[in-house]
Amino acid sequence: MPTGVAIRDVREQLFDAAERVLLRDGPNALTSRAVTTEAGCAKGVLHRHFADFDAFLAELVLDRIGRIDHQAAALRESAGTGTVADNLTGVLTALFESVALAILGLLTSRDELRARLRRARPPGVPVLTEATAMIASYLAAERDLGRIAADADVDTLAPILIGTGHLLFAGREGTGPEAGAVRKVVTTVIAGVAREPQP
């Protein structure tokens, strides 16, 4: 992009470029030069908007966590519709087929990024913590509707679902597990608390 030409929505453009690099080439390839090259802008553009590259990455992670908040609202609204198993299978698949796994790899590889995020947000693993809260909130809504047992411990079920989902999708190099495998995990985890017929 020529110097002096205004870039619309520069932060989102840089975040989208970083996400593409991260998904295509992995966390080790994510550099400021790779991001700005992917975005089609001068390297200085990133540094005009962020104090340094780790500040950029922290904002990227926080932005992507914000997307989970939108997913959480949609999932809560789905309570009482479809089946609990289908809703959970769909959200786990959407979550782990997205950039979430790549962000977890990025967090593992960058100490300074983890330190910045620890100062900026509640304890826990970014993305997984928010995803767990999303699932717990949904399960609580289904419990209120009677589709999950009244005594169901949603705060235990949620991390089990997230942890197992993470393990199913991790290390697959862009090819997720079969939908049946995700559904089997979901139906197994909720079997003791589901109050609707299971196929």
Kindly state the average pLDDT of the residues 48-74.
90
**Integer CA distances (angstroms), 93 to 41, 49, 107, 141, 162, in order:** 33, 33, 21, 20, 11
12-60: pLDDT as tens digits: 999 999 999 998 888 889 999 999 999 999 888 998 999 999 999 999 9
For the segment 125-180, what is each residue's pLDDT rounded down to a tens digit?
888 999 999 999 999 999 999 999 999 999 999 999 999 999 898 876 667 788 89
Record the pTM.
0.84
Task: Point out which residues pair with 194 in neighbouring strands.
Answer: 148
Residue 6 pLDDT: 47
Q: Which residues pair with 148 in a beta bridge?
A: 194
CA angle 189, 193, 198 (to 5 degrees): 75
Sign of the C-alpha dihedral computed for residues 16, 17, 19 and 23 taken in this order = positive
Q: Which fold has domain 62-190?
A: Tetracycline Repressor; domain 2 (1.10.357)
Instruction: Provide the residue ranges of all domains of the chain, joining segments of one domain with +.
Output: 1-49, 62-190
* pLDDT (0 to 100) of residue 82: 94
143 secondary structure, DSSP code:
H
**CA triplet 159, 121, 105: central angle to 5 degrees?**
60
Which is the CATH superfamily of the domain at 1-49?
Answer: Homeodomain-like (1.10.10.60)
pLDDT at 20: 93
What kind and span of H or E run contains 196? none
Residue 179 pLDDT: 80
Residue 7 pLDDT greater than 90, yes or no: no
132, 160 contact by CB (below 8 A) = no
The pLDDT value given to residue 178: 83
Mean pLDDT of 80-96: 93
Rounded distance, CA 179 to CA 199, Å? Answer: 15
Query: Using CA atoms, how far apart are residues 47 and 108, in angstroms rounded to an integer?
Result: 24
Q: Which two tokens stand for residue 160?
A: 């089990």
Dihedral of CA atoms 137, 174, 169, 110 in degrees, nearest 10, equals -80
